[in-house]
Amino acid sequence: MKRLGLLCLFAVLAAAAGCNSSSSISSTPPTTRPAHAIRHIVVMVQENRSFDNLFAGYPGANTAMRGACKPAPWCKGSHLVPLHSVRLASGPPALGTDIDHSHHAFVVECNANASDVCQNDGFDSIRFGESGQAGPAKLYPYAYVDRTETKPYWNLAEQYTLSDEMFFTETASSFIAHQMLLSGTVALNDHESITDEPVTPPWGCDSPPGDTTSVLFKDGRVGSGALPCFTWATLADLLDAKSVSWNFYVDHCCITLPSDFSGGVWNGFRAIKKVFYGRDWRTHISSPNTSIFADVKAGALPAVSWVIPSLYDSDHPASGCDGGPLWVTKVVNAIGTSRYWKDTAIILLWDDWGGWYDNEPPAQINYTSLGFRVPMIVISPLAMPHHVAHTHYTFGSILKLIEQTFDLGTLGTTDATAPSMADVFDLSQVLNTFKPAPLPPASPCAHKVTNPAGMARLIEHDGGPPE
């Protein structure tokens, strides 16, 4: 297995930087020099938070504590709204408060002007519910999560590298996001792309007969008709071709099982025909998602991993649960205290903005892109500590990082044009020493969303499967 791509790129960066780096900060004497290679990449995908929603007020980052709204009875005076605090659970257990984060919601919130520049002042014009089927949300989307709950995320950001310019490549929700993280595209042709989500879970090649996902046309119209079983290439094709090991850690499907529906709606490979009907489905889809702990302990962590949370561990507002920080801390601690820490990069990000306010207008580069910012933290012994990266990344940047690290070539989609993430690493620094974090508290609400009756209530309350 070759690792020449990223090594060469790192070598260029190291030569340009010399041996001095203002970002290289360590409170302990050097004990080990960098291994000059990343041999394991773990992509942790949490749910539905904008950058400002989790990191408003973070020192050195582009954040805002108030946002513009459109004139309305609830938006008067300066038309600037102070952000208010919300809880991760955003409501009682299993009945959280969700807000519209469909493509339509993006268009309303962006409120592009005549020059096609987002004004980001329409967040008070969306509605409650997964697809906006409930009442007006008004000023509710102008919110940040209480910092007592986001403290574990802030601690990771402070220790390693936080990106404040990671833009969701598309303008819809989780079904699209998970495709972009595997393939870098959702285009059916040069004038049609899939958007939003299929009607009935599970979402993929085993969807109920006649189930389709929405299609976004180049002229801005949204229609239906695409079966959620796609033939585009994914990173699995490149990894298999180079015999690079990989696993996709995700819970079982579906809502009839004593578990939530995360395995039915957040497993992007479920909608990839070649994977779902092929050998990869049997050998590389690892369920339940907690099997990553056993693999780390047994020395069997593959070169590339995707880690998908259960609903109650996901940070999704509709879940009514707050287990995300606990779940993330457990996974990071397991890897950080293992033999894998010395050559691993953990990429922690949130798959879409969830409808929450964000102050940074995304560039509108074509009819499907870009969407709002999401948080991303790079956790690695080679990640620059105490650093905020201001590079304009997209989801294609994560694909490019994997491709360069393992010399895979390119899918030729958004990975080909996305900025490289090599600038978050510094080979001249002393290796970051891992310090296990204490496990944060979490409400005991898992049992409320892991049975068919609980799932049915949640879907009815949210107007569809939370995604």
pLDDT in tens, 219-242: 999 998 889 999 999 999 999 999
Say which range, 125-139, 150-164, 284-298, 392-406, has the weakest mean pLDDT.
125-139
How far is residue 462 CA from its own chain's centroid?
Answer: 21
Q: What is the pLDDT of residue 463?
A: 76
Beta bridge partners of 223: 215
Average pLDDT over residues 124-129: 95
* Beta carbons of 89 and 96 less than 8 angstroms apart: yes
Share above pLDDT 70 across residues of the chain, in percent, rounded to a whole number: 89
Note the pLDDT tens digit of each residue in 413-442. 999 999 999 999 997 889 999 999 999 999
Q: With 80 as the cut, is the pLDDT of residue 7 above it?
A: no
Give the closest residue to 235 by CA, choosing from 306, 296, 170: 306
Residues 19-45, mean pLDDT to the nearest whole number: 56
Please name each of the domains of the chain with its CATH number: 4-65+145-171+230-462 (3.40.720)
Query: Quick check: 78 pLDDT over 70?
Result: yes
5 vs 331, more confident: 331
Q: Averaged over 123-142, what is the pLDDT?
A: 92
What's the pLDDT score for residue 14? 39
Give residue 449's pLDDT band: very low, low, confident or very high (50, 70, 90): low
The residue among 28 and 106 whose pLDDT is bigger is 106
- What is the pTM assigned to this prediction? 0.91
Higher pLDDT, residue 29 or 334: 334
Pairing of strands 304-307, 344-350: unpaired
- What is the rounded average pLDDT for all residues in the chain? 89
